């Protein structure tokens, strides 16, 4: 368990813990967005006020709670893979053709369903979440962290500068580059090849979690998937742990450890 300020981070231990994570995910991803649940109502995973799917059973779930109240303020899940040969088991493989990453030789972790309670704005929440995730990656010898980074809404024009910056500076190495699979995509690397982004506007429109990945040396796919069910645009994102700048990695380490 890790602690920063008034928050602790720990792994879910019970079915009740996982249900709390699913409830927070519902609140963050579904409630208030008009997505509905069930047939004809948009996102089918929202039944009974839960955001749940089959991946929950095979993932580890990390929870950030306020110590005083026990309030769950952040959660995400991690799917461990021995190497790239198992990439087809990942959530991301539903949306991206990841055959190039099947040659990746080291341990991998898919990080997904990351969310912070919409009523909580303390930056320490993101810090402790990253610290806990980084400690896990270091302890398990993980060499690649990956997942889908989401932009709210499906209007690509709203994020024109952000996508242009991703094309200009943060595309995946060709040997790992995900290929299109989903029928609804925005090929921003092709569409924006002559567009020069406004850096300040681009960073303002970039999702906070993706900004953190990029600071760590992360890279993205050359296209975004248009997910109308969840009302998002998302890009495949990878961070090769060996390439994280040492100064940046030090910032992710927890300032205070609590327990083990």
Q: 26-84, pLDDT tens digit by residue?
A: 999 888 564 443 322 334 455 679 999 999 999 999 999 999 999 999 999 999 999 99
The CATH number of whichever domain residue 51 belongs to comes to: 3.40.630.30
Over 57-120, what HEC string results? HHCEEEEEEECCCCCEEEEEEEEEECCHHHHHHCCHHHCEECHHHHHCCCCEEEEEEEEECCCC
Q: Between 166 and 251, whose confidence is greater? A: 166
* Alpha carbon distance 25, 76 (integer Å): 9
Cα separations (Å) of 228 from 41, 152, 171, 191, 208?
12, 11, 24, 21, 21
End-to-end CA distance of the chain: 6
Task: For 195-246, write each residue's pLDDT tens digit.
Answer: 999 999 999 999 988 998 999 999 999 999 999 888 899 999 999 999 988 7
**Could you tell me the residue range of the domain that residue 172 belongs to?**
2-257
Predicted pLDDT of residue 21: 98
Question: Residue 26: which of 14, 13, 15, 35 has the closest Cα?
Answer: 35
Residues 6+ apart with CB under 8 A from 139: none
Predicted pLDDT of residue 33: 61
Beta carbons of 106 and 137 less than 8 angstroms apart: no
Residues 6+ apart with CB under 8 A from 157: none
What is the number of structural domains in the chain? 1
Task: For 89-138, write each residue's pLDDT tens digit.
Answer: 999 999 999 999 999 999 999 999 999 999 998 988 988 998 999 899 99
Mean pLDDT for 135-149 is: 95
Is the pTM above the cut of 0.85? yes
* Alpha carbon distance 258, 126 (integer Å): 17
């Amino acid at each position: 368990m890790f602690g920063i300020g008034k928050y602790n981070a720990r792994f879910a231990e019970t079915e009740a813990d996982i249900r709390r994570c699913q409830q927070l995910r519902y609140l963050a991803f579904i409630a208030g967005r008009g997505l509905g649940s069930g047939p004809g109502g948009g996102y089918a995973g929202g039944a009974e006020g839960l955001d749940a799917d089959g991946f929950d059973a095979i993932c580890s779930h990390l929870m950030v709670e306020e110590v005083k109240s026990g309030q769950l303020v952040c959660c995400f899940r991690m799917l461990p893979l021995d190497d790239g040969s198992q990439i087809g088991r990942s959530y991301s493989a539903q949306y991206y053709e990841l055959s190039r990453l099947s040659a990746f030789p080291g341990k991998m972790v898919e990080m997904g369903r990351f969310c912070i309670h919409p009523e909580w704005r303390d930056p320490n929440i993101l810090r402790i979440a990253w610290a806990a995730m980084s400690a896990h990656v270091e302890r398990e010898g993980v060499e690649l962290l990956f997942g889908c980074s989401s932009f709210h809404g499906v209007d690509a024009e709203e994020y024109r500068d952000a996508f242009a910056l991703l094309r200009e500076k943060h595309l995946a190495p060709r040997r790992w580059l995900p290929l299109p699979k989903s029928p609804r995509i925005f090929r921003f690397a092709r569409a924006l090849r002559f567009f020069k982004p406004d850096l300040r506007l681009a960073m303002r429109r970039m999702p906070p979690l993706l900004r953190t990945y990029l600071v760590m040396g992360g890279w993205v796919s050359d296209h975004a998937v248009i997910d109308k069910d969840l009302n998002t645009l998302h890009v495949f994102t990878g961070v090769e742990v060996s390439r994280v700048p040492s100064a940046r990695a030090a910032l992710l380490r927890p300032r205070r450890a609590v327990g083990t």
